[in-house]
Amino acid sequence: MAMLALPLALPAFAQTATGVVTGKVTDRNSQRPLASVQVRVAGSPRAALTDDAGNYRITAVPAGTIQVTAQRIGYAPQTRTVSVPASGVATADFSIVVSAAQLDVFVVTATGTTERKRENGAVTATIDSSAINKAAISTFADALSSRAPGVVVQQAAGETGAGSRVRIRGSNSISLSNEPLLIIDGARVDNNPSSSAIGTGGQLPSRLNDINPEEIENIEIIKGPAAAALYGTAAANGVIQITTKKGRAGATRWDVFSETGSIKDVNNYEPNFRSYGHTAAGALVTNCSLYSRTSLAASKCVAVDSTISNLPLATAGMESNGDRRIAGASVAGGSDLATYFLSGEYQKEQNVILVNNSQRMNIRTNVRGQLAKSLDAQVSIGFTNSDLRRPQDDNNAFGVVSGSQLGKAADCGPNGLNLQHPGLCGSDTLSRGYYNPGIDPKAFYNINTRQGVQRLTGSIASNWTPISWLAVNGTFGADVDNRNDNETIQPNVLAYSQNTLDGSRGVYRAYVANYTSSLNATATYDATSALKLTTAIGSQYTDIYSTRTDAFGAKLLGGSNSLAGTNARFSVSETSSEVRTLGFLGREQLAWRDRMFLTLGIRSDKNSAFGQNFSRVYYPSLSGSWVISDESYFPKVRGVTSLRLRAATGSAGQNPGYLAAEQYYTPVAVVVNGVDVPGFTIGGAGNTSLKPEKSTEVEGGFDLGLFNDRVNLEYTHYNKITKDALVNVNLAPSLGSSANRFQNLGQVRNYGDEALLRATLYESRKVTFDVTVNGAWTTNHLDDLGVDALGNRIPDIPAGFSSTQIIKAGLPLGSYYQRALTYNDINGDGLIGCPNGRGSADCEVTVADSASYQGSPFPAAEVSFAPSLAFGHVIRFTATLDHRSGQKLFNYTSNYRNQLIVNGAPSQTPSAANLAAQAAAVATTLPAPYNTYAGYFENATFTKLREVAVTLSLPDRFASQLHAGSASLTFAGRNLHTWTNYTGLDPESNAGAQANFTTAEFLTAPQVRYFTARLALSF
Amino acid sequence: MLNIQMNRHYFARRGALALLGGCLAIGTACNPDKLLTVGTPDVVLPSDLTGPAALSSAYAASLGDFQVAYAGSSGSEGQVIFAGLLSDEYLNAETFPTRIEVDRRTTNPINSSMLPIFQNAQRARATAELVSSRYAQFDPANANRAEVQALAAYMYVLFAENYCNGVPTSKVNDDGSFAYGDPQTGAQLLTVALAKFDSAITVATAAGASGATALNLARIGKARAQLDQNNFAAAAATVAAVPTTFAYNVLHDENTSRQYNANYSFTVTSKRFSVSDKEGVNGIPFVTLNDPRAPVVRTALGFDGATPFYQPLKYQTRSAPTPLALGTEARLIEAEAALRAGDDATFLAKLNEARANSKTYAAGTAVPPAPPAAITAAAEAALSATGKQDLLFQERALDLFLTSHRLGDLRRLIKYYSRGAETVFPTGAYLVAKGGSYGTDVNLPIPFEETNNPQYKQCIDRAP
């Protein structure tokens, strides 16, 4: 390994005498030993974790007088001064108390070292994985959701395998991704939230789903450029840094668990309606809809005689309870020279939709070795093998949910219903009321869409401390993802079209690799007894590469699941992309009496995607932190334990995409004189001046500890501006070029407040009650969309379903933007109509003359409440309640049901109780440009009971019968209840999945409820 | 920053390169730019497409872009479909609001379905003009030059016939800068088209036998433009030498989805658009007539599960060609000139000559039926003046069915035959289930995205 060879190749420095520090850590209140406590030698990477007996052992500690600190999230750190004899053993025991403060929690920096939170003026959120009840979550996104202020996770659907949209402090970018950077054990990894080559109508799998929460030790969230500057280009949206579990010196410990659960769809679907009535002359009207009743035609329906309804999803038996099973095991242990952590897990989930299921296997091997007294190396390797079967739904008439919502008001069964319900089923006896007449809805199960992933994520990290004041670390990481998307349609099953009858097979194999290589050196110098200087320099190189090969064939041989079975309409394609970044960084920290810290940093990047005319970008940063309560002159205020003031500013960026700067043509096939020949068409217009967009953030706040740090409050205000925003500007079509081109234009602003309250409200030997409340208030604003090269303002950019959203200066990105709608039931008949057209005296809807802001799909505020109640170590209750407000959601489903398909209640059973919904539908039938969707932008404020869990520590005699050291049983539920005034199925639904801004509920399968039970044993 | 390499990158090499990158990065002897070199194996660069050697692929590029713009592809509707939707050829049988707007004659300039077809049309024009200039530079006598010139001219004609007044044509300069064009009226667009057709005719004539196809293509296009100018006599003279059996078809293939015939994809495959039958009171009863030149077959319901669906037999496969210019069209142009001149005999003769040589269709592999019988002189004489006009335009509608002629014809009926818009376009109540009424559009609006052209604000007007 060239990286590891480099440190060893340097001249040998004088060997420092070393010794060993060992001891035990206990909870001061209960006197019980504490596991997983990190014991660290100050100013050194030397550290160890305590085992179940609370014991630890740190080797290769420099001889002499040192300070050793024991810390664990949820406890106040404790420092002891120890004298370490050369080649000898020193003992330092610790007795630590519960504390909500996190000032001395260690976090990983961009230079590969660790530092305490108190040293950095920018706030970093830490999620302790052990505090998350794994039985209550199903994905890594669930582990992130509602746990850190400013981090908003939006799960778009209830499909198994569906992804989530993650935003940290709002959206910075207009056209590039707004997802945060993801790092695992120092290696950058693929975080593609929409990772598939096959569309199924809306939802797409996310690569976040590959991450096994069981393997995670802790999660650090670096929220913005103020903290992420040294991560450079690609870090403007924040960084999620995952550290996986590591072994510890001591006895081998085995952990095994088994979990089983059920999945239920408890959503309240509105059935499909159809009203029958008669004309003035008494003739039967088979569709006595709102439109018929308000028309002027002689054939209008004058009164409803009967109304029928049907929910095809239920009557056709298209859903059933799903289930979830997981089994896992891990082993950790080691010695002074080497520690290890090995784990494996198998997970299988069957969703309520029969053709939606997944299997996933995760394996992890983490090994650390002390190669020499001053040199250690760590290898972390994780492997994921998954298979996901994806359902059709959302904007797809073949779906279980979508086909039902667009279906009929009767179960068109074998006897047909033509006599009882004329004009409804016709000759259809198969659809069971589903949207596609004459086709058994289960026939659409023949569309077999799958994704197989084999992913290897690994890193090799080495630390070398040749002399006490110099530490060198190097990391090489690789994340290699082999993704196989495929879709098979067996012939002669689905009689929707000749295509589906022919059968087909498409295979889309992608290879995605993220390589990371970094080398850093950190030197510490005690200028005086009060002033300590820490200087770090480093470099980083990343290579993000992907290639995909597509193959398709039709006319599949029945029973074949291979391209080899296809016989016609063959097509092949190949695409690739690659972006490389080379960065250099430097950091200087001045620490005064371990209470005042000033840190300056600079990072400079070059990137292969920058335009030819742009060379290098610089990202400076500056932060200050002052633990003012440590000052002798700080007044003694009753209840106040600690107070830290902090502020930071910094810049980070995001690079243009592959080929964005280049003008190029795409090869195509063309028929010339009856023969296929190669041709080309415009691919990209290019922009040689393209540079990264740059986000600069200023943040400030405080950390307040009260009542001996039993209560801790963190508050932060931030203001972030993105300049030279990369906008995929629409080119005037008359140019005859590509549809758009990236330009550095415009300015986006995000600002807001975050607060995190942790409080141990009650603690005794038998009962502990603590709560965590986090809240964030975010404002997003497009300051300016910029001007083109000629100085002309860039026009607004329509976006979203039916162009109902907009990118417009002065508004939040992706705002809903339509002509406002008002209505008035002029004649008081309980019907809203506009029979003589807009502007006529009898038109009961009024549409504004111009479009205006109608709301944003992104919440302005999120507050989460997570209580935890423990009775000794016997039983523990936890819950998470999540509230989001300020957002709207486009209920596109309702529009389709009431304007196009006309099977919804407002259009079939109009009354004074649903005038607003009637008006919304009527307004969309007006001639352009007055057809407005404004009536469908609903308030989507909600409060959700996301998780409830109870963990029972089983009696020792039970565990011993299983030859286990301990046993616990957990019962948990997820997605338990929603309080909202939103009339659709789920205020979080989004048929746009993880798209930047496109947000609408459109025939989306809503979230489902999980109940799980988990038995965990330790040996 | 970006050096072009066509090398493939393998796992081991790339991994080792990344591993070495960090080490080398701090070395003083390396050139960091080399670490940032990436390849572009999937695309071709402008530098690869210069010179006479690239002419054949450039020619193919022009034909390919024209095919997508005119006749669509698997994922793009094309001018034929949208012109058919706005007129009375197609009826929307699906659920896309953006396409329903067009069928209902209420199209909003902000319309995500309209945008790509306008982009494709402009791209086809620009590509054809670029390729024409390349031929002028490297092989000016080649008959292909005449063909692409004619195709460029056809796009101008389609802009004039299908869109509102105000279509700009702009250009990307060689240095990558943009030269924005001013909005042009339909009359201005036709003037440009005529100049291009004349140039094509000149080149094609000089090319001799190899230019015959391009020559007739250009003649018919020129005559079409002259007809749009109401210069019917000149139009007839232009096509006098075009053989009645001539056909220039835009070709399709099953090879790639981009080459699919959109009229197949959006009808047979996805049942989005049905052939209409006396749409909106004024439309031609295409279904009822079931004329062998435009036959249909009923295939249950459309995508929306409610609209009776009639599939056009003219386009039964993905590779079915889409006619652009026909010898029968030439005869119909002559018939119109004769009618306008009061020459009933020639009018009838030309109509019947077109009928006799029209292409007919049948389902599957069945033998296509014979063309309709000739119109008798007595039947023609019994018609009023308006009736003869109706006959002419019905003949055009059937012979040129789903070839983006009908919309232009409806506009000519308003402009030059004193018909009211609401007596020729579909009007009245629009498909009760979907609600509302037909609007008043007589052309397609230019997409909002054209406002990125500083010279353009909106359509000059929406006049016919």
pLDDT at A974 > cutoff 80 = yes
CA distance A518 to A537: 11
pLDDT at B9 > cutoff 80 = no
Show which of residues 96-155 on chain A sit within 8 Å of chain B, judged by CB atoms: none
Say what the pLDDT of residue A78 is.
87
As a residue count, chain A comes to 1019
Inter-residue contact B165 to B463 (CB < 8 Å): yes
B242-248 average pLDDT score: 98
Residue of B37, B167, B251 with shortest CB distance to A674:
B251
pLDDT at B11 > cutoff 70 = no
Do A664 and B45 lie within an 8 Å CB cutoff? yes
Spell out which residues of chain B touch residue A516, defining contact as CB-CB under 8 Å.
18
pLDDT at A706 > cutoff 60 = yes
A539-546 average pLDDT score: 95
Spell out which residues of chain B touch residue A679, defining contact as CB-CB under 8 Å.
57-61, 63-64
Band the pLDDT of A32: cuts 50, 70, 90.
Answer: confident
Whether A928 and chain B come into contact, CB under 8 Å, resolves to yes
CA distance A35 to A31: 13
Give the DSSP letter string of A923-990.
Answer: HTTSPTTS---GGGEEE--EEEEEEEEEEEEPPHHHHHHTT-SEEEEEEEEEEEEEEE---SS-TT--
Spell out which residues of chain B touch residue A576, defining contact as CB-CB under 8 Å.
39, 41-42
Which is nearest to B285 in space by CA: B274, B275, B272?
A: B275
Residue of A287, A678, A729 with shortest CB distance to B60:
A678
Q: Does domain A2-98 have CATH number 2.60.40.1120?
A: yes
A714-720 average pLDDT score: 97
pLDDT at A778 > cutoff 90 = yes
Band the pLDDT of A55: cuts 50, 70, 90.
Answer: confident
A890-897 average pLDDT score: 97
Question: What are the tokens at A661?
Answer: 């700067």
Inter-residue contact A265 to A1008 (CB < 8 Å): yes
Distance from A202 to chain B by nearest Cα, in Å? Answer: 16
CA distance A537 to A521: 6
CATH fold of the domain at B59-255+319-452: 1.25.40
List, in sequence order, the alpha helices (H) in A445-546. Answer: 498-502
Band the pLDDT of A962: cuts 50, 70, 90.
Answer: confident
pLDDT at B8 > cutoff 70 = no
Say what the pLDDT of residue A131 is.
75
Do B19 and A517 lie within an 8 Å CB cutoff? yes
* B131-152 pLDDT per residue, tens: 999 999 999 999 999 999 999 9
Q: Which amino acid is at A384?
A: T
List, in sequence order, the alpha helices (H) in A859-937. Answer: 892-895, 905-908, 915-923
Q: Which residues on neighbouring strands pair with residue A881, listed in sequence order?
A: A865, A945
State whether residue A993 is helix, strand or coil.
coil
Spell out which residues of chain A touch residue B43, defining contact as CB-CB under 8 Å.
659, 662, 664-667, 683-684
Q: Number of helices and strands (H, E) in chain B?
A: 18, 8
pLDDT at A11 > cutoff 50 = no
B406-427 average pLDDT score: 97
* A66-99 pLDDT per residue, tens: 889 898 877 878 888 899 998 889 999 999 887 7
- Structural domain spans, chain B: 59-255+319-452
Do B57 and A680 lie within an 8 Å CB cutoff? yes
Inter-residue contact B316 to B254 (CB < 8 Å): no
Do A736 and B126 lie within an 8 Å CB cutoff? yes
* A274-333 pLDDT per residue, tens: 999 999 999 999 999 999 999 888 889 999 999 999 999 999 999 999 999 999 999 999
pLDDT at A621 > cutoff 70 = yes
Do A571 and B255 lie within an 8 Å CB cutoff? yes
**Global confidence as pTM:** 0.90
CA distance A914 to A897: 14
Say what the pLDDT of residue B28 is.
39
Band the pLDDT of B378: cuts 50, 70, 90.
Answer: very high
CA distance A347 to A362: 9
A772-797 average pLDDT score: 92
- Mean pLDDT computed over every residue of chain A: 91
pLDDT at B25 > cutoff 60 = no
- Mean pLDDT computed over every residue of chain B: 92
B3's torsion region: left (phi>0), alpha (psi -120 to 50) or beta? Answer: beta
Band the pLDDT of A549: cuts 50, 70, 90.
Answer: very high
Burial of A961 per CB tally in 10 Å (0-12, 13-18, 19+): exposed
How many of the other CB atoms lie within 10 Å of CB of B378? Answer: 7
Give the DSSP letter string of A542-604.
Answer: EEEEEEEEEEEEESPPTT--SGGG--EEEEEEEEEEEEEEEEEEEEEEEEETTTEEEEEEEEE
Do A736 and B172 lie within an 8 Å CB cutoff? yes
CA distance B370 to B372: 6
Do B251 and A1 lie within an 8 Å CB cutoff? no
Spell out which residues of chain B touch residue A519, defining contact as CB-CB under 8 Å.
22-23, 25-26
Distance from A779 to chain B by nearest Cα, in Å? Answer: 28
Distance from B15 to chain A by nearest Cα, in Å? Answer: 7
Q: Which residues on neighbouring strands pair with residue A1002, listed in sequence order?
A: none
- Please give the interface size between A and B, counted as residue pairs whose CB atoms are below 8 Å apart: 332
For testing the chain B interface, which of A404, A544, A574, A734 should be mutated: the one with the most B CBs within 10 Å?
A734
CA distance A462 to A4: 7
Which is nearest to A855 in space by CA: A917, A783, A940?
A: A940
Inter-residue contact A632 to A603 (CB < 8 Å): no
Q: Which helix (H) or strand (E) holds A539?
A: strand A531-554
How many of the other CB atoms lie within 10 Å of CB of A109? Answer: 25
pLDDT at B354 > cutoff 60 = yes
State whether residue B109 is helix, strand or coil.
coil
How many of the other CB atoms lie within 10 Å of CB of A72? Answer: 22
* A658-671 pLDDT per residue, tens: 989 889 999 999 99
CA distance B271 to B395: 26
Residue of B64, B305, B450 with shortest CB distance to A734:
B450
A532-551 average pLDDT score: 95
CA distance A977 to A988: 13
CA distance B339 to A701: 85
Band the pLDDT of B18: cuts 50, 70, 90.
Answer: low
Spell out which residues of chain B touch residue A682, defining contact as CB-CB under 8 Å.
123, 127
CATH fold of the domain at A134-265+320-814+856-887+940-1018: Maltoporin; Chain A (2.40.170)
Mean pLDDT is lowest, of A364-368, A653-657, A881-885, for A653-657
Residue of B60, B123, B256 with shortest CB distance to A736:
B123
Say what the pLDDT of residue A16 is.
61
Strand A94-96 relative to strand A875-885: parallel, antiparallel, unpaired?
unpaired
State whether residue A229 is helix, strand or coil.
helix
Do B452 and A688 lie within an 8 Å CB cutoff? no
Instruction: Give me the half-sphere count of Cα atoms (radius 13 Å) on the Cβ side of residue B129.
Output: 23
CA distance A455 to A384: 5
Interface predicted TM-score (ipTM): 0.92
Inter-residue contact A641 to A629 (CB < 8 Å): yes
Do B168 and A734 lie within an 8 Å CB cutoff? yes
Say what the pLDDT of residue A417 is.
64
B288-309 average pLDDT score: 91
Inter-residue contact A509 to A477 (CB < 8 Å): no
pLDDT at B12 > cutoff 70 = no
CA distance A905 to A307: 10
Burial of A431 per CB tally in 10 Å (0-12, 13-18, 19+): buried
CA distance A324 to B461: 62
Q: How far is CA A431 from CA A437, A495, B417, in A?
A: 5, 12, 50
State whether residue A908 is helix, strand or coil.
helix
In degrees and rounded to multiples of 5, residue B369 shows phi and psi of -70, 170
Say what the pLDDT of residue A456 is.
98
Residue of B21, B63, B456 with shortest CB distance to A541:
B21
A178's torsion region: left (phi>0), alpha (psi -120 to 50) or beta? Answer: alpha
Closest-CA residue of A relative to B99 is A802
Inter-residue contact B329 to B284 (CB < 8 Å): no
pLDDT at A837 > cutoff 90 = no
Q: Which amino acid is at A435?
A: Y
Q: How far is CA A782 from CA A213, A236, A796, A800, in A?
A: 36, 16, 11, 17
Spell out which residues of chain A touch residue B74, defining contact as CB-CB under 8 Å.
none
Q: 3-state SS of chain A: helix, strand, coil percent to 5?
A: 10, 50, 40
Band the pLDDT of A453: cuts 50, 70, 90.
Answer: very high
pLDDT at B338 > cutoff 90 = yes
Do A688 and B176 lie within an 8 Å CB cutoff? yes
CA distance B424 to B417: 11
How many of the other CB atoms lie within 10 Å of CB of B8? Answer: 10
Say what the pLDDT of residue A9 is.
29
A470-485 average pLDDT score: 96
Q: Which amino acid is at A175?
A: S
CA distance A881 to B284: 62
Which is nearest to A686 in space by CA: B349, B2, B421?
A: B2
* A117-146 pLDDT per residue, tens: 888 888 889 888 877 777 778 889 999 998
CA distance A90 to A39: 14
Helices B114-138 and B143-162, packing angle to 10 deg? 150
Inter-residue contact B233 to B223 (CB < 8 Å): no
Q: Which amino acid is at A925?
A: T
Say what the pLDDT of residue A416 is.
58
Say what the pLDDT of residue A14 is.
41
Which is nearest to A730 in space by CA: A721, A743, A717?
A: A743
- Structural domain spans, chain A: 2-98, 134-265+320-814+856-887+940-1018
* A235-287 pLDDT per residue, tens: 999 999 999 998 887 789 999 999 999 999 999 999 999 999 999 999 999 99
Whether A901 and chain B come into contact, CB under 8 Å, resolves to yes
Strand A124-128 relative to strand A740-744: parallel, antiparallel, unpaired?
unpaired
Burial of B374 per CB tally in 10 Å (0-12, 13-18, 19+): middle
Say what the pLDDT of residue A45 is.
67
Do B61 and A679 lie within an 8 Å CB cutoff? yes
